[in-house]
Amino acid sequence: MCQPAPSSRMIAWAPGVMRSAISSRWRFMLAVLAHGWALERFEHVETVGFEYGQRHAVEMACRLRVLERMAGLRSDWTRRLGVDHVCDLAALHAVSPSALTRDTEIETPAGELPTTFVPGRNLVFLTFAAILAYQRGLGRLIGGMCETDYSGYPDCRDDTVKAMQLALNLGMDRRFAIETPLMWLDKAASWRLAETLGGSALVELIRVETHSCYQGDRSELHDWGYGCGACPACTLRMSGWHTYRRTSIS
Ligand SMILES: [Zn+2]
């Protein structure tokens, strides 16, 4: 069931505002960036997080703190940030054997998807985000999916997202637009986008407060953020950060 998060901060939504959007938050660093991109462009932005029995609760624990701090970065973002929703998708955990939802080894067998793959996850998320948007009268769904340097998940691909947009529009008789501003950015470009949107304050917020590590490791703060430094998510984040820093200095 989807409902406003108890601790969410609600800002009055002016009915009739056309430029409105709902921002979904899957891979956390990318989701925060997509959220910043949405706040930059739309007068009213609501957010949604999905609880699906993730192996580590760190990601969900970080999100409200990040939302609050993002709203504090710019007065126009404070004004535009609307209600936050949390959807309980426990059924996804019940049916999925992924290493993201079970205490099993994280690995990428040759020629196969990583064991962290949760089949259909983004399809479910997009569907629930669209149901929420339908109820809330919002016209755009914004997600942090990326197929540039990624783990190969087929539900992160641009073709999948475009097909979902068509299916949702047909199935709900609406004209939703799904926006994926990070789809063609590598991780270094994503860090640069953070700098463009919110300056060094947003870069630092993402570095310190967001979480990518599949192991849920927040024991040590590296120059690229928290994480085990070895899992696929940490490897992508780390190499993107180092490229961003190297190209920023030169
Ligand atoms: Zn890690």
Strand-strand pairing, 2-4 and 81-88: antiparallel
Centre of ligand 1 to C-alpha 34, Å, is: 21
Does residue 222 sit within a domain?
no
Q: Report the CATH number at residue 175.
A: 3.40.50.620
Does residue 93 sit within a domain?
yes
Centre of ligand 1 to C-alpha 136, Å, is: 36
Best CA proximity match to 203, nearest among 213, 212, 195, 211? 195
Does residue 106 sit within a domain?
yes
Does residue 234 sit within a domain?
no
Q: Which domain holds residue 59?
A: 2-9+19-198
Separation between Cα atoms, residue 155 and residue 168, nearest integer Å: 15
Centre of ligand 1 to C-alpha 153, Å, is: 17
Does residue 44 sit within a domain?
yes
Does residue 156 sit within a domain?
yes
pLDDT for the residue 223: 95
The model scores a pTM over 0.75: yes
Centre of ligand 1 to C-alpha 211, Å, is: 9
pLDDT for the residue 17: 27
Centre of ligand 1 to C-alpha 237, Å, is: 9
Does residue 235 sit within a domain?
no
Domain count, the chain: 1
Tell me the pLDDT tens digit for each residue of 87-113.
Answer: 888 888 788 766 655 566 677 777 777
Judged on CB neighbours under 10 Å (0-12, 13-18, 19+), 243 is middle
Centre of ligand 1 to C-alpha 55, Å, is: 13
Centre of ligand 1 to C-alpha 95, Å, is: 24
Residue 225, phi-psi category: left (phi > 0), alpha (psi -120 to 50), beta (remainder): left
The one-digit pLDDT tens for each residue of the chain (250 residues) are: 555 443 333 222 222 223 356 665 445 677 788 888 888 888 888 888 888 776 556 666 677 888 888 889 999 999 998 888 888 888 887 887 666 555 666 777 777 777 778 889 899 999 999 999 999 888 889 988 888 877 788 999 999 999 999 999 999 999 999 999 989 999 899 999 999 999 999 999 989 888 778 777 889 999 999 999 998 888 988 999 999 999 886 5
Centre of ligand 1 to C-alpha 82, Å, is: 31
Centre of ligand 1 to C-alpha 204, Å, is: 19
Does residue 208 sit within a domain?
no
pLDDT for the residue 104: 67
